[in-house]
Amino acid sequence: DQQNDKLKGTETYDPLHRVRPLMEMIGTRCRALCHPRQHLAVDERMVSTKARLSIKQYMKAKPTKWGLKFFVLADKNGYTVDFQLYTGKSNVSSGKGLSFDVVTTLVRKEYLGSGYIVYTDNFYTSPVLFKHLRTQGFGACGTYRQGRVGVPTTTENALTKKSPRGSIRWIRDGELLFVKWMDTREVSMCSTIHPVYTGESVQRWQKSPDGKVQKVAVPRPTAVTEYNKYMGGVDTSDQMIGTHSIHRKTKRWHLVDIAVTNSFVIHKDQCCTMRRKQKTQQSFQEELAAHLLGVPLYDEPQKEAGKKHLPVPCSSNKQAKSERAGMGRRRCKLCQRSTAWSCEFCNVGLCLQVERNCFWEYHQG
């Protein structure tokens, strides 16, 4: 640490040297413990912070505009396969741009294998990147910006502002397919694995010649359909992390949030495979915290031997008859149904009926 601090202000200084061991450990476990689904998405994640950090970034289009910027690879279920914290200009680059370096760092054949399909937005999409992914055994699909190197510039048979909704135009450049589709506005897609159109349509409101507004079926290219279906993996992960985050001052806890959220995604997949009822994310995190701390999640009343456990009514003579039906009942400890009886010593509600004798069952343990 002291040697790295002396390098502050130079190109060899590492601003993440204090958290890099933890970040690399969690990243390694994320890549090793789960085999992701076939469709993967690459996108940015902003972690808000008010700290004065040299690596803090500003993104105008994000809900969290100031904070730490993570580049994230995630599957459709929200599992974070890999991530990279952006610290500024890198000394090691391919010379093909930041977007190319980010995707090729996150999508690696040595641990993923091949056969995956990667979805990106227009910040990352480029013909150079998609051709490279193709050589590695990955398919790719994403929106693109007009003017990128390698993007066709011809205007022959192109869309115009007067083109009717549902119009589709495309150009093939070897293994690359460039598709333009007119919806509310023009949508530009590039893909290496999709056909142009396979019969999909989407419902849109449209005014008929007689002035009535009605829903009509509008043709939609296959690449747009698949992009809308699988591009939201990072957003799903952000939502799960944001709604169940560990509220601490230091942002290194965000790495723990990633690990916990990934554990919950694995739990959901296993429950689906074994056809079991899954826990909510909140209850899962509560049980996980209790397990790591080695404490019981719920304090059960102690049942001491030799004590008299007698059933008593929950209501008292002080309550009016009109109040006994609601206020004079408790929740049964075993079956969770409403009951008018409780144990005098244990102070828990227990059913005492011919067909459901929870009082007897509870005191057998």
At 70, phi and psi to the nearest 5?
Answer: -105, 135
Of 20, 30, 84, nearest in space to 265 by CA: 30
> Which residues are 332's β-sheet partners?
349
pLDDT at 354: 84
Measured CA to CA in angstroms, residue 295 lies from 177, 292, 300, 365 at distances of: 57, 8, 12, 21
Record the tokens describing residue 292, joined without a space: 């790591």
Residue owning tokens 């399909």: 117
Successive 10-residue mean pLDDT values, the chain, 365 residues: 69 76 90 90 89 84 86 93 86 80 93 93 94 95 92 86 91 93 93 94 88 91 95 90 73 83 93 89 90 79 64 74 68 89 88 89 82
First-to-final CA distance of the chain? 56
pLDDT at 50: 79
DSSP letter at 349 equals B
pLDDT at 170: 93
- Global pTM reads 0.76
CA dist 217 and 229 (Å) reads 18
Cβ-based neighbours of 337, under 8 Å, separated by 6 or more? 331, 351, 356
Contact predicate 192/2, CB 8 Å: no
pLDDT at 20: 86
